[in-house]
Amino acid sequence: MNDIIITHPNNLKEMIREVINEEAYKFTNWLNSRLVDEEKTLTRQQAADYLNMSLSTLHRHTKQGDIQAYGIGSRVYYKLNDIKSAMRAIN
């Protein structure tokens, strides 16, 4: 059964505006969470665990230039996006 609602055009505009704002807020949160995941920084151990390899193998790939590493002081970090980019399909 369809209900008929009678309302003033200004009220309808306000209801539409509220729904659009809610959906835009949800989309913005979703997009921000995706960007944060892609820009996430991993420690050497976290990167090795993510790739399921030893620290020495990760070090070798870093030295060969396969995976980009970043440093702050004596600490070494990897960006999740760089790790995903370094992975390539094998035929």
Residue of 35 and 69 predicted with greater confidence: 69
Tell me what pLDDT residue 37 has.
Answer: 63
Distance CA 73, CA 90 (A): 36
**Confidence band for 54, pLDDT divided at 50, 70 and 90:** very high
Residues 37, 72 contacting (CB under 8 angstroms): no
Angle value at C-alpha 53, between 51 and 54, nearest 5 degrees? 140
pLDDT in tens, 5-26: 788 888 889 999 999 999 998 8
Q: Which helix (H) or strand (E) holds 11?
A: helix 9-38
Domain 41-86 belongs to what topology? Molybdopterin biosynthesis moea protein, domain 2 (3.90.105)
Query: Would the pLDDT of 38 be above 80?
Result: no
**Confidence band for 31, pLDDT divided at 50, 70 and 90:** confident
Average pLDDT of the chain, as a whole number? 87
Query: Would the pLDDT of 35 be above 80?
Result: no
Domains of the chain: which residue ranges?
7-38, 41-86
Distance CA 72, CA 46 (A): 16
